[in-house]
Amino acid sequence: MPGESNKAMSSSGLWPPDRSLYVVTDCRWLEGRSLEDVVAAALRGGAGVIQYREKTASTRHMVETASKLCALCRRHGAVFLVNDRVDVALAADAHGVHLGQEDMPARAARRILGPGKILGVSIHDEEEILRAEEDGADYVSVSPVFATSTKPDHQSPLGVRGTCVLVRRSRLPVAVIGGIDETNLEPLVRCGVRGICVVSAVMAARDPEGASRRLCLGIREVLKTLPQS
């Protein structure tokens, strides 16, 4: 299976098993609920990776929140990542950080993080995959697969076909994000992605635990139909 050989490319060796449910936080969907409660529910439902994404809060608030979320993830055996902010990730003792193309260069982030932390990079084309591999990333996140209201200014959606082309080209584990829910994840799991990333599918759900559980069940049901290797 491609994921097994790709895992050896990871400098941290911490990336979780194939097809983990990966939930990215977005406080705009909380509607009066606490972020900790929603994340805890997602973890109970089976989420294997939580990425804390916050663009407006103070650094102090981010460190305090990230520390609480990291503790939650560790209790559930899940991976905790911080979006963009290497300093916050280190202060909270997160498992790692996820960077976009406009964030700190991955090579610089790797020097700061060292080899024992996970480094993920968002990509949209093959050139960005190659650069992420060279710069020490542990995984790449292909985005967006489908159009999504979470980030209305996103690049053109790649669709299933375009996403699967990039999955096959990458020597690193690949996560995918952008408009994914339980109705459209099947072809993505089939093409070998290592993480199904969602935002509103869990964060906006009235029952985030149930939403996570259904997504995880959907992933498992597809895996049952795939040839064993």
Q: What gap in Å lies between CA 59 and CA 55, rounded to an integer?
A: 10
Handedness of CA 150, 23, 177, 110 (dihedral sign): positive
pLDDT exceeds 80 at position 181: yes
**What mean pLDDT do residues 158-182 have?**
96
Q: Which residues touch 109 (CB under 8 Å, ≥6 apart)? A: 86, 97, 99, 103, 119
Of these residues, 7, 53, 85, 214, which one is catalytic?
Answer: 53
Of these residues, 12, 122, 141, 143, which one is catalytic?
Answer: 122
Is-catalytic flag, 122? yes
Distances (CA, A) of 156 to 75, 175, 187: 38, 18, 19
Q: What gap in Å lies between CA 208 and CA 28, rounded to an integer?
A: 15
Is-catalytic flag, 151? yes
Kindly report, residue by residue over 8-54, the tens digit of the pLDDT: 334 556 677 667 899 999 999 999 999 999 999 999 999 999 999 99
Backbone phi and psi for residue 89, each to the nearest 5 degrees, phi listed first? -60, -45
pLDDT value for 155: 79
Q: What gap in Å lies between CA 118 and CA 107, rounded to an integer?
A: 13
pLDDT exceeds 50 at position 5: no
Is-catalytic flag, 60? no
Q: What gap in Å lies between CA 40 and CA 224, rounded to an integer?
A: 27
Kindly report, residue by residue over 56-71, the tens digit of the pLDDT: 999 999 999 999 999 9
Domain 2-224 matching CATH 3.20.20.70: the answer reads yes
Kindly report, residue by residue over 78-135, the tens digit of the pLDDT: 999 999 999 999 999 999 999 999 999 999 999 999 999 999 999 999 999 999 999 9
Of these residues, 33, 151, 171, 190, which one is catalytic?
Answer: 151
Q: Residue 182: pLDDT band by 50, 70, 90 thresholds? A: very high
User: Which of 162, 196, 163 shows the shortest CA–CA distance to 181?
Assistant: 196
pTM for the complete prediction? Answer: 0.92
Are 40 and 33 a contacting pair, CB within 8 Å? no
